[in-house]
Chains A and B, each alone.
Chain A
């Protein structure tokens, strides 16, 4: 395979060089355009973020620097628990979404193709129903739930629904990339039952899609405000909003937001790193081996 690819690529590369040789001026102009576009867009995205960081480090007097706002993050009542709750919500929502969607989608792909349109429609519905409408509908149910348990963790029911469209699309892409039918038939002819087919043959080949759907779900949960606020639960975004109204020191608001952002960023890095290692090495053991080898060097 590798030989074929390299043979296929060589003439193309050569062609590129020749063309480049003939049109140096045009290529230079194109490169300048690229750099300008890149710089403009980088500024557009980075400036607000840099401003956020700068404000979080603002001292008592304008223009001075101070780490006080970062130190105060944990001193606000409710903030730490809100962070904790939000993280727990992210984990629970991810798990429930995966448990709900992965087996269902594989099953539909393998056994009841006719239902795939219906399921897709159902999963995409939360995209077109505004969160506000959803909450109005869910309000009475949450009123009942509150009789038994008032923990904000109950929010995961809504979050699972809100995350369905994104998780569904991510998983559908992953499933579409593998020949589910042939793989499952091969496994079955070798003696595998449906559970084995699902978890030892299909799922290991859609890890990237599973990670993507986890990433999207956690991003959604980390940034959710409307539902939590209306249902009167305290999650990270609601806590940040409360602080911004109650405190004179806006710095805490910025430091907390930055922290949340950094956290999401680190999560994204970890997930995409795992995804890359998986697709390159093919298995967890291979990624572990690669890490160990790197460590030894």
Chain B
């Protein structure tokens, strides 16, 4: 999948491979990057996802040359770039904060990098308009940054970064300052343009939805290391660690017992992702969408019956919190199935036997 994307478009330029090896960066006592290894294949878009302080932005800044690594190697297209200053690394970058030069028009902003490369006025004007066309803003070329919206500013920043035809595109949470609707539109636009241009891209975000929607592969980071690097579907459905499972998507933590290749949770056997899990008590991580509910009028109580505490309407789906007596569990259902389930109604639960991960942390035995 990763490779196909860059070659889908006939006009795509060949991207270059970016390889980071043993990258380490310290801020005083804090180890921001702890020997990070990451290879971005040519034309691939990798999203680095993680909580704040996990080192994802540091990775990007080291790659861009905006900060120096304490140790490690960076090669772009096979060439070592670790000693090159930011201005010589040939990477386009879009920042989280609005970064357009306020004293220049949109057109001058986009042409700035070309001007530094001594491209003639006619050629750079043509290229700037071409880039603005790509992001759908050619009509705003003569406006100043303060005259256009935040979303438009980020699109101009993207056009500016791409105008210099960089080898690598770096996106540092470019959508986080925008409102939800603009964010998803721009997200899709970034992906479309990235595929069209075929440029190797590293995208940093703390928004899991964004990462899963846009990337060929998602790297989930924690404490300066990558916990899992895999396709969005794999990260979501087969998380490598309990941290990944809990960071990406919501997770129920249910007490269970591991034996053989299954974990028994409230009387139900669920297959394990990791078959080498040692037997004994453990906490199973169950996705809310693997839990379904039905009204239960029998009045019997069992390990999989409970009372609805709250329902949260999310649009197409709804999230329901159910009290099981000794634990609470979260279920996510299509809204159309939820209408009968108001707070206080008795429900029977069904847990779909998807492969689950168990957390080694046995302290949370009876926690919901």
Interface string of B79-96 (1 = CB under 8 A from A): 000000111111111010
In the complex, the chain B residue whose C-beta lies closest to that of A193 is: B87
> Which of A185, A196, A205 makes the CB contact (< 8 A) with B103?
A205
How many angstroms between the C-alpha atoms of A158 and B333 in the bound complex? 77
How distant is A47 from chain B, measured CB to nearest CB, in Å?
A: 43
Interface residue tally of chain A, by bracket?
20 to 34
Residues of B within 8 A of A201 (CB): 101
Q: Which of B140-148, B287-295, B346-354 is near enough to bind chain A?
A: B140-148
Pairwise interchain contact B112-A187, C-beta atoms closer than 8 A: yes
B99 with A204: CB separation less than 8 A: no
Known A2-B147, A196-B116, A282-B144; contact A185-B101, beta-carbon cutoff 8 A: no
- Number of A-B residue pairs having CB atoms within 8 Å of each other in the complex: 80
B117 in contact (CB, < 8 A): yes
Whole-angstrom CA separation of A197 from B85 in the bound complex: 14
CB-based contact B103/A192 at 8 Å: no
Please report the C-alpha to C-alpha distance between residue A201 and residue B102 in the assembled complex, in whole angstroms. 9
Taken together as a complex, chains A and B put the C-alpha atoms of A100 and B139 apart, in Å, by 42
Q: Decide: B99 and A185 in contact? CB cutoff 8 A.
A: yes
Q: Tell whether A63 is near chain B: CB-to-CB under 8 Å.
A: no
Segment from A8-16, A122-130, A176-184, A227-235 that makes contact with B: A176-184
Nearest to B67 among chain A residues (CB) is A185
Q: In the complex, what residues of A have CB within 8 A of residue B161's CB?
A: 189-190
Q: Which residues of B145-179 have CB atoms within 8 Å of chain A's CB atoms? A: 146-149, 157, 160-161, 164, 170
**Known contacts A191-B113, A191-B117, A191-B164; is-contact A1 B99 (Cβ 8 Å):** no
B interface vs A, CB < 8 Å?
Answer: 64-66, 85-93, 95, 97-105, 112-113, 116-117, 144, 146-149, 157, 160-161, 164, 170
**30 A-B pairs, CB-CB below 8 angstroms?**
A1-B146, A1-B148, A178-B102, A179-B97, A179-B98, A179-B99, A182-B95, A182-B97, A182-B99, A183-B101, A185-B95, A185-B99, A186-B99, A186-B157, A187-B112, A188-B66, A188-B87, A189-B66, A189-B86, A189-B170, A190-B92, A190-B112, A190-B164, A191-B87, A191-B88, A192-B112, A204-B101, A204-B103, A205-B101, A282-B103
Instruction: List A residues at the B interface (Cβ < 8 Å).
Output: 1-2, 4, 178-179, 182-183, 185-193, 196, 201, 204-205, 282-283
Q: What would 16 more interface pairs be, CB under 8 Å, given A186-B93, A190-B160, A282-B105?
A: A1-B147, A4-B149, A179-B98, A179-B99, A182-B95, A185-B66, A185-B99, A186-B95, A187-B101, A189-B66, A189-B86, A190-B92, A191-B87, A192-B112, A196-B116, A201-B101
